């Protein structure tokens, strides 16, 4: 075979491999829980329509959602800042874009200095860029006392320790603004969760509660207490608000988003109960033991029972919500699993 033919064959081989790698068939080789990632339901059109626009230079969206109140997001995390007439109050500093916050705030609030930094809770993915504000003279860093205690133990050099703390309920007045804090039973973090309310703006900050337009994150926002998570939605709805900052993805929430999330949780409760009622533990064990023959392993049988319940519940939830919330087929099995374990034990 001459050199030219070898080159032709080599070029054809490279082209063929390239086509194979970039073809849809190759893309489907990526699996999530045994399912091709391309087979999951795409993000809903109505969810996409709520996405904000992003500055091509900063890669951030910044908008004045209420007078003197600014919403910031990179599409994954969220924060806010408020001009009070006596200083700018900053709410959270996510590390993914926190380094840009001082310049962003200066651009939109050049007539006021930063006076307060408020922590919604102690998780570093929301406050891990706090150090960018460390050189601000007389900065008040506000958080729940349990958050301070937790941060002292962790000794994270990127997070400024709070110098103003509270327990239960607290009202902070800065200039023309009143900022209300309410400590809630731990629905997400293990130190303290806080609802932050701006009554003049009817604006609520409830981080890691929901993601507007989407089904809740893994196992109901990885809650350590399912009862607390279920109750937090009712607590939020008792507030007089029309916009809500929930901390993740790019959509600033509305009251209807919390109402929808509450209805979703109630539907998961119902689907879980129906799965338990319609599935016989004894019959499942008989089927599994028959398949195992001599190896009658009760762990395998009970795991199969739980997986059967989760599958029934999840399929029902996806059918009910696939046209209403994005990501429901991604997270519904975790929601069902968590709810089923709660119902089986209570």
Number of structural domains in the chain: 3
Task: Evaluate if residue 149 carries a pLDDT over 70.
Answer: yes
Mean pLDDT across 73-102: 96
Q: Is residue 227 part of a domain?
A: yes
202 and 103 within one domain: yes
Q: What is the pLDDT of residues 277-293, one digit of tens each?
A: 999 999 999 999 999 98
306 and 291 within one domain: yes
Q: What is the pLDDT of residues 236-271, one digit of tens each?
A: 999 999 999 999 999 999 999 999 999 999 999 999
Mean pLDDT across 105-110: 95
Q: What distance in Å separates the CA atoms of residue 285 and residue 297, rounded to the nearest whole number?
A: 10
Q: Is residue 295 part of a domain?
A: yes
Q: What distance in Å separates the CA atoms of residue 97 and residue 178, rounded to the nearest whole number?
A: 27
Tell me what pLDDT residue 44 has.
97
Tell me what pLDDT residue 295 has.
83
- The confidence band for 14, taking pLDDT boundaries of 50, 70 and 90, is very low
74 and 213 within one domain: yes
Task: Evaluate if residue 138 carries a pLDDT over 50.
Answer: yes
Q: Provide the 3-class DSSP secondary structure of residue 11.
A: helix
Tell me what pLDDT residue 11 has.
39
Q: What is the pLDDT of residues 184-227, one digit of tens each?
A: 878 888 888 999 999 999 999 999 999 999 999 999 999 999 99
Domain boundary among 255, 281, 298: 255
248 and 229 within one domain: yes
Q: Is residue 262 part of a domain?
A: no
328 and 207 within one domain: no
Burial of 96 (0-12, 13-18, 19+ CB in 10 A): middle
Q: What is the pLDDT of residues 24-35, one digit of tens each?
A: 544 557 888 888
Mean per-residue pLDDT of the chain: 90
Task: Evaluate if residue 8 carries a pLDDT over 70.
Answer: no
Q: Is residue 224 part of a domain?
A: yes
329 and 187 within one domain: no
Q: What is the DSSP string of 250-264?
A: SPPEEHHHHHHHHHH
Contact 147, 121 (CB under 8 A): yes
Q: What distance in Å separates the CA atoms of residue 225 and residue 298, rounded to the nearest whole number?
A: 28
58 and 11 within one domain: no
- Lateral strand order in the sheet of 140-144: 61-66, 69-73, 78-83, 88-91, 114-118, 140-144, 164-166
Q: Is residue 260 part of a domain?
A: no
Mean pLDDT across 47-69: 96
Q: What is the pTM of this model?
A: 0.86
**Residue 40 neighbours by CB under 8 Å, 6+ apart:** 32, 329, 330
Contact 184, 231 (CB under 8 A): no
What is the domain range of residue 31?
A: 3-39
Domain boundary among 255, 287, 321: 255
243 and 184 within one domain: yes
Tell me what pLDDT residue 18 has.
42
Tell me what pLDDT residue 185 has.
78
Tell me what pLDDT residue 184 has.
85
Mean pLDDT across 42-46: 96
Q: Is residue 261 part of a domain?
A: no
CATH value at residue 78: 3.60.15.10
198 and 326 within one domain: no
Task: Evaluate if residue 140 carries a pLDDT over 90.
Answer: yes
Q: Hey, what are 107's tokens?
A: 């651009």
Mean pLDDT across 313-328: 97
Let me know how many helices (H) and strands (E) the chain has, helices first: 12, 15
Task: Evaluate if residue 20 carries a pLDDT over 80.
Answer: no
298 and 244 within one domain: no
53 and 19 within one domain: no
- The confidence band for 12, taking pLDDT boundaries of 50, 70 and 90, is very low
In angstroms, the Cα distances linking 146 to 167, 182, 188, 189, 196 are 8, 13, 14, 11, 16
88 and 20 within one domain: no
Mean pLDDT across 66-81: 96
Q: What is the DSSP string of 41-82?
A: PPPPHHHHTTPPP--TTT--EEEEEETTEEEEE-SSBEEEEE
Tell me what pLDDT residue 192 has.
87
Q: Is residue 220 part of a domain?
A: yes
Break the chain down into helix, strand, coil percent, rounded to 5.
45, 20, 35
Tell me what pLDDT residue 29 has.
75
Domain boundary among 255, 282, 314: 255
Q: Is residue 226 part of a domain?
A: yes
∠ CA(23), CA(29), CA(35), 5° rounding? 130
Tell me what pLDDT residue 162 has.
96
The helix (H) or strand (E) run that includes residue 22 is helix 3-22
């Amino acid at each position: 075979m001459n050199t030219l033919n070898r080159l032709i064959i080599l070029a054809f081989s490279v082209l063929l491999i390239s086509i194979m790698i970039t073809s849809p068939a190759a893309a489907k080789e990526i699996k999530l829980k045994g399912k091709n990632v391309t087979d999951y339901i795409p993000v809903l059109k109505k969810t996409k329509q709520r996405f904000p626009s992003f500055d091509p230079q900063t890669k951030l969206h910044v908008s004045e959602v209420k007078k003197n109140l600014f919403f910031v997001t990179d599409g994954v995390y969220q924060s806010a800042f408020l001009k009070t007439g006596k200083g700018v109050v900053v709410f959270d500093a996510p590390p993914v874009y926190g380094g840009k916050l001082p310049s962003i705030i200066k651009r939109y609030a050049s007539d006021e200095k930063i006076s307060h930094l408020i922590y919604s809770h102690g998780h570093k993915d929301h406050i891990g860029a706090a150090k960018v504000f460390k050189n601000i003279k007389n900065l008040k860093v506000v958080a729940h006392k349990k958050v301070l205690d937790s941060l002292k133990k962790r000794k994270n050099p990127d997070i400024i320790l709070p110098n103003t703390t509270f327990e239960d309920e607290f009202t902070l007045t800065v200039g023309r603004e009143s900022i209300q804090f309410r400590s809630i039973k731990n629905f997400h973090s293990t130190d303290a969760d806080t609802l932050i309310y701006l009554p003049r703006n009817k604006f609520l900050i409830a981080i890691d509660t929901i993601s507007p337009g989407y089904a809740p994150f893994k196992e109901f926002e990885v809650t350590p207490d399912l009862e607390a998570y279920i109750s937090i939605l009712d607590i939020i709805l008792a507030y007089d608000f029309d916009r809500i900052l929930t901390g993740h993805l790019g959509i600033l929430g509305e009251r209807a988003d919390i109402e929808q999330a509450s209805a979703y949780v109630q539907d998961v409760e119902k689907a879980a109960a129906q799965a338990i009622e319609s599935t016989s533990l004894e019959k499942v064990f008989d089927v599994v033991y028959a398949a195992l023959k001599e190896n009658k392993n009760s762990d395998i049988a009970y795991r199969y029972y739980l997986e059967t319940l989760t599958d029934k519940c999840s399929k029902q939830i996806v059918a009910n919500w696939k046209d209403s919330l994005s990501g429901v087929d991604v997270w519904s099995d975790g929601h069902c699993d968590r709810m089923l374990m709660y119902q089986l034990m209570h």
